[in-house]
Amino acid sequence: MEEARHQPVMPAEVIHYLDPQPGAVIVDGTIGLGGHSRLIAARLGAEGTLIGIDQDESALALARKNLAFFTGKLVLVHDNFRNLGSVVRQVCPEGIDGLLLDLGVSSLQLDWGERGFSYQQKAALDMRMNPQQPFSAADLVNTYSQAELTRVLREYGEERWASRIAQFIVEARKKTPLTTTDQLVAVVKAAIPAGARRTGPHPARRTFQALRIAVNQELEALQDGLEAGIASLKPGGRIVVISFHSLEDRIVKRTLRQRAKTCTCPPALPVCQCRGKPELKILTPQPVVPTAEERQQNPRSRSAKLRAAYKLV
């Protein structure tokens, strides 16, 4: 297996807000190659426990290698972080002291072009974070109706030209199935008027984002993972989430703020069941973003936003 390296986003900020202590139990719900986990493990010491979750078995194998120095308890789990609750119940039912979620596509998936995540490399139109799941991006673009494609591109990619791109995809696949990234890029470029392609990011960027999110059910997984993670934290535990686009950040912001309100009971309940006690304290009233120096050194960090909270009860 090829050696892979990872430059973690906002490493100092993650350690500051997660604040891992010797002997603590920390979950990295998106461990990837272990870039952040290496820093966390160095703080946990021999008595600490680090639980790493990832959908990609290739990433887990490299993470294990990169964390070989860790003398504490290392538990690596091949799963989606939306199932974090069941993982924690099996490994440490008493709860965890910290949770990190570094969202979006990993460096491993981007760098290995054959996975089909990048619009800049010719590859099979795949985009599955878990290669074992049956449904790929090629399945989506070749089977969804024009209306369904439009919805995916508009909701998950916030694509201005969603309807037109969907129309062009449907017309193109009548001639031959769209099975590679370069085929899809060509269709997207044809669909977007030339004037609109001259400025801004790559014309296929939003389409690829939308398809990746839909194929991997990323937003649903994020909501489930946040709920499970907050429930798994011990009082005094911390949650740190790094998001890379507005759809993710809105979910994180809304969920943390709801749990920080003085009452989280449904309006229909006649009596407050939580006794007016907020579950979380927000540690980042505004999202933390990378420094200008980091954005220059690591372009993949440019859209990152970090939010953190502290478990009260």
DSSP sequence for 17-58: HH---TT-EEEETT-TTSHHHHHHHHHH-TT-EEEEEES-HH
* Predicted pLDDT of residue 1: 38
pLDDT at 110 over 60: no
Q: What is the pLDDT of residue 181?
A: 95
Which of 273 and 57 is assigned the larger pLDDT?
Answer: 57
* pLDDT tops 80 at residue 209: yes
Amino acid 3: pLDDT: 43
Q: 275 falls in which pLDDT band (50, 70, 90)?
A: low
Average pLDDT over residues 64-79: 97
Residue 172 near residue 187, CB atoms below 8 Å = yes
- For range 54-79, the mean pLDDT: 95
Strands 25-28 and 96-102: parallel
Nearest alpha carbon to residue 96 among 17, 196, 24: 24
Cα–Cα distance, 180 to 6 (Å, whole number): 26
Q: What is the mean pLDDT of the chain?
A: 91
Identify the structural domains of the chain with CATH numbers, from first to last.
11-108+218-311 (3.40.50.150), 115-216 (1.10.150.170)
Quick one: pLDDT at residue 58? Answer: 87
Predicted local confidence at residue 37, as pLDDT: 97
- Asked if 263 and 271 touch (Cβ cutoff 8 Å), the reply is no
Global model pTM greater than 0.85: yes
pLDDT at 272 over 80: no
More confident residue, 186 or 129: 186
User: Is 209 or 107 the better-scoring residue by pLDDT?
Assistant: 209
How many whole angstroms separate alpha carbon 98 and alpha carbon 49? 11
Length of the chain measured in residues: 313
Instruction: Give the side-chain half-sphere CA count within 13 A for 52.
Output: 27
Taking Cα atoms as reference points, which of 190, 139, 149 lies closest to residue 170?
Answer: 149
Position 97 pLDDT exceeds 80: yes
| Residue 77 pLDDT greater than 80, yes or no | yes
Q: What's the confidence (pLDDT) of residue 274?
A: 65
